[in-house]
Amino acid sequence: MTHAATRIRSVGPREVRARLGLPDAMTASKKTDRLDEHFRRFIAHSPFLTMATADAEGRADCSPRGDYPGFVKVLDDRTLAIPDRPGNKIADSFGNLAENDGVGLLFLVPGMRETLRVNGRARATDEPDVLTRMEVEGRRPVLAVVVEVTEVYFHCGRALIRSRLWDPASRALADELPSVGEVAVEQYGLDVPPEVLERRLQDGYRKLY
Amino acid sequence: MTPPTATPADAPATAPTAAPVQATVVDRIDRVAEDVVALTLRGTGGPLAPWEPGAHIDLRLPNWLTRQYSLCGDPADRDTYRVAVRHDRLSRGGSEYVHRFLRRDRPLPVSLPRNHFPLLPAPRYLFVAGGIGITPVLPMLRAAVRAGVPANLLYVGPSPDAMPFAAELRAALGDMVRVVATRSEGRPDLGALAAELDEDSLVYCCGPAPLLAAAAQVFPAQRLYTERFRPLARTFGPDTAFEVLCRRSGRTVAVPSDESMLDALTHAGHPLPAGCREGVCGSCELAVAEGEVEHRDDLGAPEGRMYPCVSRARSPRLVVDL
């Protein structure tokens, strides 16, 4: 018995292009490699991004990064830096970047339907001047990811419009999900009341830096 | 399944508290030196709170950061506040935001004025300002002139282009103001100034640490009043863990050795207004009812008060008014 991903038929690149048609000239030409004032303003107001990396074999990974708006520092019109805040210490992104420096970023601004796409080459740094600019609560991150921008452009808002992502009513979706504590108890077969796990998680969330 | 205890998805425990704010809009943004802009903030909810020379306010920037700036306008003007902001090359996001992204006509909530640098009555004054440290001194100087009290200003900066208000001050006050551009003229001789100082003069000094240190060496301590941008470099005993009993909520909060009391209280659900986190702005002032405080701020906490961003406890427990 094979799983669906191996059974479902594939469509090759030429076929994909034939089905979709071509982008219009403006869309095709909007990519640039410079962070102009508009891109910088977007980044300065963005508290959240996703960061996609892959290892040497192309095994891909995508992780969330978030902080106060402008937590990503634009160092010049080709360079930005993302602080590495305390997390699960798995460091998938750093592991990938050590093998393959390609990175894809998607910046979001709450309330804004358009998103910002930034692709480039990335590496880890501990440059003191960069880390100093990232201090929060008097704590500076130990590491940051420096990205040399190769492509930057705004992505149209259709996905966010269709997803109703910023519609306050959409938040009711979260009420239909079990708590993380309940999920953990079931997934790992733990003999602990979910509330205990939930409380432990909440305590952990109090300390963010 | 039991009803979910929904994880509060927004509001980290560090969210700013509901300290009193005044609504303003950004009325003007004027470049007043090569890396300094002056903001004129117009109150939108009636007259703005009164203030005295030396006072500062918190700006609550749209990027959720709170930053302190000295009021440099006219206290008699109750319609607007004026502050001047230097762009810090190593900005953590405050001055960079003001310089690059703040826009005219946008709302900008500000705190009530606080004053840790009040101008005391004296028969004459000497003001010493370094760079952007001119801001609290401007209204002091104007107040002295208006009251007919003899006053002199020594204004030190790297070059005239980098010194806000230097030309206006010279034009308006002539010889009362001496401007020294260190890049071309070198550092001024504060010792000579101190030697000429009248017995009854008070000295007010605001500027970068080296200027304050030089002033502290030559002027008599009991007549020198300073305001710092950054804390004085000092060493303290090792940080130890202690407990804080919050008198009003009845809760006890453990402060671990690797966390500030401000952060521990905030993380435990007692968020306090936080500004500099370095013991220089006074935003997080807290009343202490019991226990021995190890004061580490540069403000000089009033009796029964402390600044928990830097100060800790000498006793195993503090009782605070929270």
Q: What is the pLDDT of residues B241-298, one digit of tens each?
A: 999 999 999 999 999 998 899 999 988 888 888 888 888 888 899 999 999 999 998 8
| pTM, full prediction | 0.85
Which residue among B64, B92, B101 places its CB closest to the CB of A135? B92
pLDDT of A11 above 60: yes
Residue contact B63–A195, C-beta within 8 A: no
CATH number at residue B306: 3.10.20.30
pLDDT of B108 above 80: yes
B104/B132 same-domain check: no
Q: Nearest Cα to B178, choosing from B114, B128, B216, B223?
A: B128
Using the Cβ of B1 and the Cβ atoms of chain A, whether some distance falls under 8 Å is answered with yes
Q: Take residue B153 and report the two structure tokens written for it.
A: 């200003």
The rounded percent of chain A whose pLDDT value lies above 70 is 98
The Cα of A55 is separated from the nearest Cα of chain B by a number of Å equal to 31
CATH number at residue B26: 2.40.30.10
Q: Mean per-residue pLDDT for A69-90?
A: 90
pLDDT of A22 above 90: no
Does B90 reside within a domain? yes
Phi/psi of residue B296, each to 5°? -125, 15
pLDDT tens readout for residues B32-50: 999 999 999 999 999 999 9
pLDDT of B4 above 60: no
pLDDT of A115 above 70: yes
User: How confident is residue B10, by pLDDT bands cut at 50, 70 and 90?
Assistant: very low
Residue contact A175–B6, C-beta within 8 A: yes
Suggest the residue from A130, A207, A209 to mutate for an interface test with chain B (most B CBs closer than 10 A).
A207
If 0-12 CB within 10 Å is exposed, 13-18 middle and 19+ buried, where does residue A203 land?
A: exposed
Phi/psi of residue A2, each to 5°? -105, 155
- State the Cα–Cα distance between residues B297 and B277, nearest whole angstrom: 10
Instruction: Please list every residue in chain A whose beta carbon sits closer than 8 Å to the beta carbon of residue B309.
Output: 138
Of how many residues is chain B composed?
A: 322
Residue B140 CA from chain centroid, whole number: 15
Last residue of a domain, one of B228, B259, B283: B228
B58/B100 same-domain check: yes
Number of domains in chain B: 3
Under CATH, which architecture does the A24-162 domain have?
Roll (2.30)
Quick one: pLDDT at residue A88?
Answer: 67
pLDDT of B13 above 60: no
User: How confident is residue B18, by pLDDT bands cut at 50, 70 and 90?
Assistant: low
- State the Cα–Cα distance between residues B79 and A166, nearest whole angstrom: 36
Q: Take residue B262 and report the two structure tokens written for it.
A: 């401000």
Locate the domains of chain A by residue range. 24-162, 178-206
Task: Report in angstroms the alpha-carbon separations of A157 from A52, A72, A115.
Answer: 20, 22, 7
Does B101 reside within a domain? yes
Which residue among A45, A129, A208 places its CB closest to the CB of B14? A208
Closest-CA residue of B relative to A186 is: B1
Q: Take residue A42 and report the two structure tokens written for it.
A: 């977007």
Quick one: pLDDT at residue A198?
Answer: 87
Closest-CA residue of B relative to A204 is: B267
B217/B246 same-domain check: no
Using the Cβ of B62 and the Cβ atoms of chain A, whether some distance falls under 8 Å is answered with yes
> DSSP string of chain A?
---HHHHSPP--HHHHHHHH-PPPHHHHH--BSS--HHHHHHHHT--EEEEEEE-TT--EEEEEEE-STT-SEEEETTEEEEEE-S--S--HHHHHHHH--EEEEEEE-TT-SSEEEEEEEEEEE--HHHHHTT-BTTB--SEEEEEEEEEEEEEPSHHHHHHTTT-GGGGGGGGGSPPHHHHHHHHHT--S-HHHHHHHHHHHHH---
Instruction: Please list every residue in chain B whose beta carbon sits closer than 8 Å to the beta carbon of residue A198.
Output: 5
User: How confident is residue A1, by pLDDT bands cut at 50, 70 and 90?
Assistant: low
User: How confident is residue B312, by pLDDT bands cut at 50, 70 and 90?
Assistant: very high
Mean pLDDT of chain B: 91
pLDDT of B2 above 60: no
Does B9 reside within a domain? no
Mean pLDDT of chain A: 92
Does B146 reside within a domain? yes
- State the Cα–Cα distance between residues B241 and B316, nearest whole angstrom: 8
Parent domain of B43: 21-111
B57/B29 same-domain check: yes
- State the Cα–Cα distance between residues B84 and B31, nearest whole angstrom: 9
- State the Cα–Cα distance between residues A71 and A46, nearest whole angstrom: 8
Apex CA B48: angle with CA B46 and CA B54, to 5°?
175
Which residue among A44, A201, A205 places its CB closest to the CB of B63? A44
> Number of residue pairs across A and B with CB atoms under 8 Å?
78
B28/B61 same-domain check: yes
Residue contact B63–A70, C-beta within 8 A: yes
Residue found by looking up tokens 């095994």 in the block: A59
pLDDT tens readout for residues B181-208: 999 999 999 999 999 999 999 999 999 9
Which residue among A45, A177, A202 places its CB closest to the CB of B63? A45
Contact B32, B157 (CB under 8 A): no
Specify the DSSP element, H or E, that contains B184. helix B182-185
Task: Report in angstroms the alpha-carbon separations of B185 from B153, B173, B179, B217, B305.
Answer: 17, 21, 10, 21, 44
Q: Find all residues with CB under 8 Å of B42, minimum gap 6, and list them.
A: B24, B25, B27, B79, B80
The Cα of A134 is separated from the nearest Cα of chain B by a number of Å equal to 6
Quick one: pLDDT at residue A6?
Answer: 87
Quick one: pLDDT at residue B3?
Answer: 36
Specify the DSSP class assigned to residue B162.
G
B131/B169 same-domain check: yes
Quick one: pLDDT at residue B274?
Answer: 83
Quick one: pLDDT at residue B295?
Answer: 94
B207/B139 same-domain check: yes
Instruction: Please list every residue in chain B whose beta carbon sits closer than 8 Å to the beta carbon of residue A137.
Output: 14, 260, 263, 277
The rounded percent of chain B whose pLDDT value lies above 90 is 79
